């Protein structure tokens, strides 16, 4: 009997620990300040194809919420600053919003966070004063619906919330924001919600290039910056900015609030004066960021601390005002092709000029025997749609229609995309559903094209979908620790 109870306890503890030990995650922001981006249903297909599991949106657009139903993608939904006054004054306004905009689509659409307002330190003080009452009303509405433990409430900030960020140990919040910040931090601590911040080393470098090295901003530095107060060593600006926030929280005795990065990234294009806004630098920053996050190394002040990060942004947004860089933070063009290659597994460095260039040389790309039907269908739909592949050969009565099955049709489409995009390793990924082969898969009158053959589809030099954009830390680094803890002998 005692042994059985110990087993039940150990199993329960394991499940609990797995919840806590899920590892750091990478998400993507889905901004829509553009007039040329795909419709939400097509975006949902693109997101699934790339295995992006976490997405931030900036409002509660019904078409977006509908599009992501039953996709498994977890959404962070935003309440804009313009709604804070109404949401702070009357609970009924929030109850109605939740009833009309969230509850009809939940839980099919997995809403896990609601952000109330954004970067309030840049907003007028009357807006800032409304944020905490609005957050409390949103929490109350969620509690009435029984969702206050499933959907967390917070608000996002720029790094302008700090009055000092260097050295990190001297990090301090700007006292002029205390009127709304102190009650907000008390709310976050009480409800176990994260402190959300948008962090951009790009701006810090652009505005202080004589004080900050580009390598330090891009995670490429081979030297270290020493915090004279703690002796902690920093090799990148991202960690230093995160730790400045940790120390600012610590100075106010908020020790349990976790930090979540709700925006970070690097623009791929800028004005004449924005010389570091290039595809190479954007790729370098985001690639190194992904690796840094999913390695779960934490920061010098918080080693091993989980940190969830959202990359800004899914698309370039052509209607954003300001300098040229403001319209060029995207990972994808409006036609859903990649602006530059990223390895979302974080296992390798990708050179934008030589990215995985392994030419065909007698290789083909076919559907993996281990891929699920859903993965194959998503890849097939993408290749024949946004991928610009000519899929007429797999239509009824055409040479490659038979055998009429998903594996055969996906293989033809995958190979066509692979060949017309340079026959690179990355062009055969399809979220892990594609695999390269040296054996020509052609049969009967169904001919699989090769790179350089006369039969090509629309010219498209961008990369194919890469693997998971929501990769969590690998099994050996964290689950093993949880398993060890869960199955320690109990006396």
- Indicate which residues carry an active-site annotation: 119, 263
What is the C-alpha separation between 473 and 297, in angstroms, rounded? 10
Where in 10-108 does DSSP place strands (E)? 26-29, 54-56, 74-79
The torsion region of residue 44 among left (phi > 0), alpha (psi -120 to 50) and beta comes to: alpha
Element at 93 (helix H, strand E): helix 91-101
Q: Give dist(CA 49, CA 43) in Å, integer.
A: 10
Q: Smallest Cα–Cα separation from 281: which of 204, 230, 219, 335?
A: 219
* 303 φ, ψ (degrees, to nearest 5): -60, 135
Q: Which residues contact 279 (CB under 8 A, 6 or more apart)?
A: 268, 269, 339, 340, 352
b/e code 379-408 from CB counts within 10 Å (16+ = b): bbbbbbbbbbbebebbeeeebbbeeeebbb
Where do the DSSP E strands lie in 144-268? 152-158, 162-164, 172-173, 195-198, 225-226, 233-234, 259-264
Strand 54-56 relative to strand 26-29, pairing: parallel
Residue 265 contacts residue 285 (beta carbons within 8 Å): yes
State the distance between the two ends of the chain, measured CA to CA, in whole angstroms. Answer: 13
Structure tokens at 244: 């400045």
For residues 293 and 471, give the distance between their C-alpha atoms in angstroms, rounded to a whole number. Answer: 10
Q: How many CB atoms lie within 10 A of CB 479?
A: 18
Short-list 150, 59, 67, CA closest to 113: 150
User: Where are the extended beta strands (E) located within 329-487?
Assistant: 364-367, 434-437
How many CA within 13 A on the CB side of residue 414? 32
Q: What DSSP line would sit under 100-136, residue for residue?
A: HHTTTTTTTSEEEEEEEEE-GGGS-HHHHTTHHHHHH
Q: Estimate the crossing angle of helix 406-420 against helix 373-384, to 10 degrees.
A: 40
């Amino acid at each position: 009997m005692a042994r059985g109870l110990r087993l039940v306890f150990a199993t329960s503890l394991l499940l609990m620990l797995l919840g806590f030990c899920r590892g750091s995650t990478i998400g993507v922001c889905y901004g829509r300040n553009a007039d040329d981006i795909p419709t939400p249903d097509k975006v949902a297909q693109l997101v699934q194809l790339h295995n992006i599991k976490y997405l931030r949106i900036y409002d509660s657009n019904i078409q977006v919420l509908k599009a992501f139903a039953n996709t498994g993608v977890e959404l962070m939904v935003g309440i804009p600053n313009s709604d804070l006054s109404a949401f702070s004054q009357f609970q009924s306004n929030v109850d109605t919003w939740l009833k009309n905009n969230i509850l009809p689509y939940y839980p099919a659409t997995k809403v896990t966070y609601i952000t109330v307002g954004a970067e309030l330190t840049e907003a007028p003080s009357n807006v800032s004063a409304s944020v905490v009452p609005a957050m409390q009303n949103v929490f109350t509405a969620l509690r009435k619906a029984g969702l206050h433990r499933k959907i967390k409430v917070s608000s996002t900030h720029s790094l302008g919330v700090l009055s000092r960020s260097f050295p990190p140990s001297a990090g301090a919040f700007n006292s002029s924001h205390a009127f709304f910040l102190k009650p907000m931090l008390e709310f976050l601590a009480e409800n176990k919600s994260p402190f959300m911040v948008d962090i951009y080393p790009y701006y810090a470098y652009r505005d202080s290039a004589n004080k900050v090295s580009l390598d330090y901003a891009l995670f490429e530095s081979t030297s270290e910056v020493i915090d004279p107060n703690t002796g902690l060593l920093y090799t990148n600006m991202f960690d230093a900015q995160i730790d400045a926030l940790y120390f600012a929280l610590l100075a106010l005795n908020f020790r349990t609030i976790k930090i979540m990065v709700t925006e970070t990234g690097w623009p791929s294009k800028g004005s004449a004066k924005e010389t570091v806004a290039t595809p190479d630098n954007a790729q370098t920053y985001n690639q190194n960021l992904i690796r840094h996050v999913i390695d779960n190394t934490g920061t010098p002040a918080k080693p091993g601390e989980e940190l969830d990060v959202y990359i800004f942004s899914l698309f370039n947004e052509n209607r954003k005002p300001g300098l040229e860089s403001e319209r060029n933070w995207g990972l994808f063009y409006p036609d859903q092709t990649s602006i530059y290659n990223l390895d979302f597994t974080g296992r390798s460095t990708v050179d934008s000029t030589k990215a995985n260039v392994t030419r065909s040389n007698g290789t083909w790309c076919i559907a993996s025997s281990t891929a699920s039907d859903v993965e194959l269908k998503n890849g097939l739909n993408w290749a024949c749609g946004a991928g610009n592949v000519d899929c007429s050969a797999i239509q009824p009565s055409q040479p490659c229609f038979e055998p009429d099955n998903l594996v055969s049709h996906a293989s033809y489409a995958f190979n066509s995309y692979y060949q017309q995009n340079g026959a690179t390793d990355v062009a055969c990924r399809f979220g892990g559903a594609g695999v390269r082969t040296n054996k020509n898969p052609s049969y009967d009158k169904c001919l699989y094209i090769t790179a350089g053959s006369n039969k090509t589809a629309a010219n498209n030099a961008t990369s194919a979908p890469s693997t998971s954009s929501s990769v969590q830390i690998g099994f050996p680094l964290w689950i093993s620790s949880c398993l060890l803890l869960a199955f320690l002998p109990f006396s």
